[in-house]
Amino acid sequence: MPVMAELRARLAELADLSALGGLAGWDQRVMMPPEGATARANQLATLDRVSHELASADEIGEWLEELEGSELDEIDRDIVRVARRDFERQRSVPADLVGERAQAAAAGQATWQTARANADFAAFAPALARNVELARTYAACFKDAARPYDALLDDFDYGVATERIEAIFARLAEGLRPLIAGVGRQPERRAVPVGIPIEAQRAAVGATLRRLGVSEDSWRVDVSAHPFSEAVSRRDTRVTTRYESGSLESLLGALHEFGHALYERQIAPDLERTNLGRGTSMTIHESQSKLWENHVAYNRAFAPVLAEELGRGGHAIEPDALYAELAQVRPSLIRVSADQVTYPLHIILRFELELALIEGGLDVNDLPAAWNDDMRRLLGVEVPDDAAGVLQDIHWSAGLFGYFPSYAMGCLIAAQLWQQIEADLGSQDEALRVAEVGAIREWLAEHVHKYGRRLDTEPLVERATGRGIDVAPFLAHAARVVGG
C-alpha cells in the first residue's frame, strides 16, 4: 500500500475510534443508568489508550518522514502537516497518563453529578484535585510550552497563547464595564409571563429546529443535565438541551447546540475520516454556537418564529414581549442562562480561576470562596450555594482545563462573522422573521465550515473577515442590546 494510503487508513481508524468514544460519552450523559459509571470509565479509558497507541505508533513517524518533501495534492499536504503536529503531541504524552486522565474524567463526571445535586463541593473536591494534578502532569509533557496553561490551550485552540487571551479578555472586560454599569438605566421592558410549561418548550424546541433544517433521519434531539452536541458522523448528529419550567433556556440551548452540530455536518465531505474532518478548534466551534444563539435566537427579527412555535405548543405570547425578555441584561448566577452581554464575564471568571489552579496560585479547597468573591467582583452577584456556584459546570469534572476561554472568544468571533455575513448578504431581518436561514447556512459552509482543521483559529477568522480576532464587533453588538 502506498505510504499516503497507509497514513490515511490509520487516520480513518482513529476517526472511527473517536466517534465511538463520542457515542459512549453521549450515552453516558443521556441514557446510561447511574450504576454503569464505573464500567463506562474503564471502557472510555481503554478506548483512549488504544487510540493513543495507534496515534503515537512508530510507523506514523516513519510514514511522515517518507512523505515530507513528496509531491502531494493540497488536501494531502494539509493531512501530513496536521498529522505531524498531532503525532508529536501524542508522542509527548505517556499512554498510561492518557488512560489515567480518561478514567479520572469519567469518574469525576459521575462524582460531579451527585455533588451538584447535593450542593456539596467537599464531596467533589478529591476528584477535582485529581484532575488538576493530572492536568499539570500532562502540561509538563510539553517542554516547548511557554507556560503550563499554553499546553492545555493547544488541545482546544492550537496556536492561541495564554498571553493573547489575557490581552483580549482585558480589553473585553474594560469595554463591558461601562455597559454593565448602565444596565440599571435601561428602559423598562415587558417580561415574559412566568410558567412557560415544559410541554410548550419541548414542542417549540422540536418545531424550531425542524425549521432550521433538523430532520429525524440523521439527527437526534435529547435531554441532558448539561446541553451538548455530539457528531458521531456527518449523517448522525446528536444535540441535547434541558428543560426548566418558566424558562427560555431550553430554546436558547437548543439553537446553541444546533450551531455546533451544523459546523460538523458542513465540513467538506472529502475530509471525512481524516484528521482534518472535524472542527478546527473549540473557539471556532463556540463562534458557531454563539452565532446561532446571539445573532439568531436573541435577534428581534427571530422573535416571531419563537413566539409562533411556543403558541403552537400551547403557550401564547406576543413576539414583542418575548423579545423584551430575551433582550434583558441582568447579571446572574448561571453561565448557561446568562444574557448575551454579561455572559463573557462568566468566562473571564472561570479562565482566571482555572489558570490559577493549574499554575499554582489557587488550591482546590479554596476554589468555592474564590469563585464567590469573583462573582461579586465581576457581576455583583451573591452565590447561595455550591450548586449555583462552583459546581454548575461539568468541564472541570471531566478534566477540561483550557476549554473555557473558547466560550468568550467564540462570542467575539460570532459577532465578527455576523457583521461580515450582513456586509456580504445584506440585512437578514426579513429572512429571520420566517426562519429562512439557507443563505446563512451556505455562507458559513463556504467561509468557515468547509475547511475543517485545514485552517487554525486566527487564520480562519482572517480568511472569513479580512482581519484577526477583534473585540469591537461584540462590544458594538452588546451596546445595541443594552441600548434597547
Query: Are 55 and 177 members of one domain?
Result: no
Is the pLDDT assigned to residue 218 strictly greater than 50?
Answer: yes
Same-domain check for residues 358 and 305: yes
For residue 157, tell me if it sits in a domain.
no
Same-domain status, 208 and 332: yes
Category of 69 on φ-ψ map: left (φ > 0), alpha (ψ -120 to 50) or beta: left
Do 140 and 167 lie in a common domain? no
Is residue 104 domain-shared with residue 181, that is, in the same domain? Answer: no
DSSP letter string, 83-119:
HHHHHHHHHTS-HHHHHHHHHHHHHHHHHHHHHHHTT
Residue 6 has pLDDT above 90, yes or no: yes
Residue 424: give the domain boundaries: 162-483
Residue where a domain stops, chosen among 147, 172, 188:
147
In a domain, 153, yes or no: no
What is the C-alpha to C-alpha distance for residues 222 and 329, in angstroms, rounded to an integer?
29
In a domain, 154, yes or no: no
Catalytic residue at 65? no
Q: Kindly state whether residues 44 and 189 are assigned to the same domain.
A: no
Catalytic residue among 100, 230, 249, 257: 257
Q: Kindly report the average pLDDT of the chain as a whole number.
A: 94
**Domain match, 247 and 283 both:** yes
What tens digit of pLDDT does each residue of 159-192 get?
899 999 999 999 999 999 889 887 754 444 444 5
Residue 1's pLDDT is 60
In the chain, what percentage of residues exceed pLDDT 70? Answer: 98
Share of the chain above pLDDT 90, in %: 87
Q: Buried b vs exposed e over 399-431: b needs ≥16 C-beta within 10 Å?
A: bbbbbbbbbbbbbbbbbbbbbbbeeeeeebeeb
Domain count, the chain: 2
Task: Tell me the residue ranges of DSSP E strands in 8-101.
Answer: none
Whether residues 230 and 105 fall in one domain: no
Q: Are 197 and 111 part of one and the same domain?
A: no
- Predicted pLDDT of residue 69: 85
Q: Output the pLDDT for position 182.
A: 73
Q: What is the pLDDT of residue 188?
A: 45
Residue type, 380: G
Neighbours of 122 (CB within 10 A): 11
Decide which of 81, 115, 147 is a domain's last residue.
147
Q: Does the structure show a pLDDT above 70 at 82?
A: yes
pLDDT at 196: 87
- pLDDT score recorded for residue 173: 94
Tens-digit pLDDT profile for residues 407-426:
999 999 999 999 999 999 99
Span 91-107, pLDDT tens digits = 899 989 988 999 999 89
Q: Residue 265 falls within a domain, yes or no?
A: yes
Res. 90 pLDDT band, cuts 50 70 90 = confident
CATH for 301 = 1.10.1370.30
Same structural domain, 176 and 73: no
Strands of 325-432 (E only): list them.
none
156 found inside a domain: no
* 60-86: average pLDDT: 95
The tens digit of pLDDT for each residue in 330-354 reads 899 999 878 999 999 999 999 999 9
141 and 223 share one domain: no
143 and 170 share a domain? no
**Which of these three, 88, 116, 147, is where a domain ends?**
147
Give the pLDDT confidence score for residue 367 in this predicted structure: 98
